[in-house]
Amino acid sequence: MTIGSLKFPKTAMLAPMAGVADRAFREICINMGASCVVGEMASAKGLCYGSKKTAQLLGVTGHERPMAVQLFGDEPDTMARAAGIALGFKPDFIDINMGCPAPKITGGGSGAALMKNLTLAGEIIRAVADASTVPVTVKIRKGWDENSVNAVEAALVAQEGGAAAVTIHGRTKTQMYAPPVDLGIIKAVKDALRIPVVGNGDVDSVDACAQMYEEAGCDLVMIGRGALGRPWIFAQIKAYMERGMRLPEPALEEKMAVMLRHIALACRYKGERAAMREARSHVAWYLKGVRGAAAYRRKAGELVCYGDLELLARTVLDASIRA
């Protein structure tokens, strides 16, 4: 897939996930073979008002490229100003969020709420595209609800507004993350556009990724929740898509090593106290499916320092040896 001068292999990219897709996780996923990553969504108003916390979400380093920053907002002028600020962080491209279903986002008219006002959405996309010196992409959903499935129309608005690519999550806002994703709507968007289309939703395995490529015909696949606690999914998909190889699930020792490396990076970037508080969720994801996982997850909820995590990893490995 090509966006501007950027070329992405036909593997899989990491989705923007608030509170999850931080610098440490993005680096891990890039190292595992993700074709590119998108940072946590940042408030356009927050950027324009000088919020340091919001600005921290836009950091881009050489270890996580190619990378996009994602903005959300409901005012064309504010989004354009925010894009100008975001350019200072030197992202490879800028993504506009029109897909987040969280009430705190949609309640203010941003995210998936823009699926209900495509005139405003078009104005926002054009304003950002005009203000940006890097490609601009747009992430949408199937629609607001089953009575307003308008993904094709929204995608055409994005294309007309200057978007270089569109990502579509194959569910409506009201469906959130269930039932199964609609591959047909992704294909309909792909068939309607002349710019690249990225498919998103329910990809948690090599087979699910291959199915999305085959049935939806998209140019690239985006993975979000399917990578939580399993960043090696990118290596598995890369091996299959490029060489036809099916890599096995990593051994428990390797999984624990990846987990420790991930959280060590988080501690380096955020400080141990903040990183370990956020690590509790990640550790629970890494431990999913491990024998005795329920008890380990309870211990994960009590993590305070990195040493606690090292001890937990040793406990998990020792128990697996005795089993």
Respond yes or no on whether the N-terminal peptide bond of residue 179 is cis (omega within 30° of 0).
yes
Respond yes or no on whether the N-terminal peptide bond of residue 66 is cis (omega within 30° of 0).
yes
Rg of the Cα trace of the chain? 20
Distance CA 222, CA 294 (A): 29
The residue assigned the tokens 């996780």 is 25
Structure tokens at 13: 């990219």
Q: Is 213 helix (H, G, I), strand (E, B) or coil?
A: helix
The residue assigned the tokens 């400080």 is 271
CB atoms within 10 A of CB 62: 7
**206-228 burial, b if ≥16 CB within 10 A, otherwise e?**
bebbeebbeebbbbbbbbbbbbb
Which one of the listed residues 100, 209, 218, 267 is annotated catalytic? 100
Q: Is 248 exposed, middle or buried (0-12, 13-18, 19+ CB in 10 A)?
A: exposed
Q: Is 229 exposed, middle or buried (0-12, 13-18, 19+ CB in 10 A)?
A: buried
Is 209 noted as a catalytic residue in this protein?
no
In 3D, which of 212, 215, 188 has the Cα closest to residue 199? Answer: 212
Count the alpha carbons within 13 Å of 313 in the hemisphere toward its beta carbon.
20
Positions marked catalytic: 100
